């Protein structure tokens, strides 16, 4: 039998973070993206998730996956995450230059590839686009 403390619901923020992490892990595990560098990959992924919204990381993972789909052998591990991180940086740069970010997939395609609701990922990109830019960021 669980103690009363164990029965109390998790704070919504912790629950949302766990769900977001599970979504990212689903993508990573589905396509075996860790490669041979599991520990380093996990560390880098944790760093990305602490710096960016999980939805943006999801979208970058899938964008990177689709861009490298036909590459043999498929890029995995740290190299894959570095490419995904570069994609996020490109989106940020597009936002700071007040231009549309380059995206090669639709919400429907995201869903077909991941089996996940695309709204979270695409909302994260839209929020990135709607963030005000400072003069220092633009120059």
**3-class DSSP string for the chain:** CCCHHHHCCCCHHHHHHHHHHHHHHHHHHHCCCCCCCHHHHHHHHHHHHHHCCHHHHHHHHHHHHHHCCCCCCCCCHHHHHHHHHHHHHHHHHHHHCCCCCCCCCCHHHHHHHHCCCCHHHHHHHHHHHHCCCCHHHHC
139 assigned to some structural domain: no
pLDDT digits (tens, 9 = 90+) for 75-130: 999 999 999 999 999 999 887 777 777 788 999 999 999 999 999 999 988 887 76
Look at residue 125 in the predicted model and tell me its pLDDT.
Answer: 87
113 assigned to some structural domain: yes
4 assigned to some structural domain: no
User: Could you give the number of structural domains in the chain?
Assistant: 1
pTM of the model: 0.82
16 assigned to some structural domain: no
62 assigned to some structural domain: yes
Tell me which residue range forms the domain holding 92: 50-131
38 assigned to some structural domain: no
């Amino acid at each position: 039998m669980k103690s009363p403390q164990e029965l109390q619901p998790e704070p919504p923020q912790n629950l949302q973070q766990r769900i977001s992490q599970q979504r990212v892990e689903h993508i990573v595990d589905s396509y075996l993206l860790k490669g041979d560098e599991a520990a380093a990959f996990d560390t880098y992924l944790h760093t990305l998730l602490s710096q960016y919204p999980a939805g943006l990381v999801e979208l970058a993972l899938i964008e990177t996956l689709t861009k490298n789909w036909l590459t043999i052998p498929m890029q995995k591990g740290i190299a894959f995450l570095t490419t995904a991180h570069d994609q996020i940086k490109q989106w940020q740069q597009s936002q700071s230059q007040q231009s549309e970010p380059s995206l090669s997939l639709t919400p429907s395609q995201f869903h077909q590839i991941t089996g996940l609701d695309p709204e979270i990922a695409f909302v994260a990109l839209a929020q990135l686009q709607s963030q005000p830019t400072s003069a220092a960021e633009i120059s």
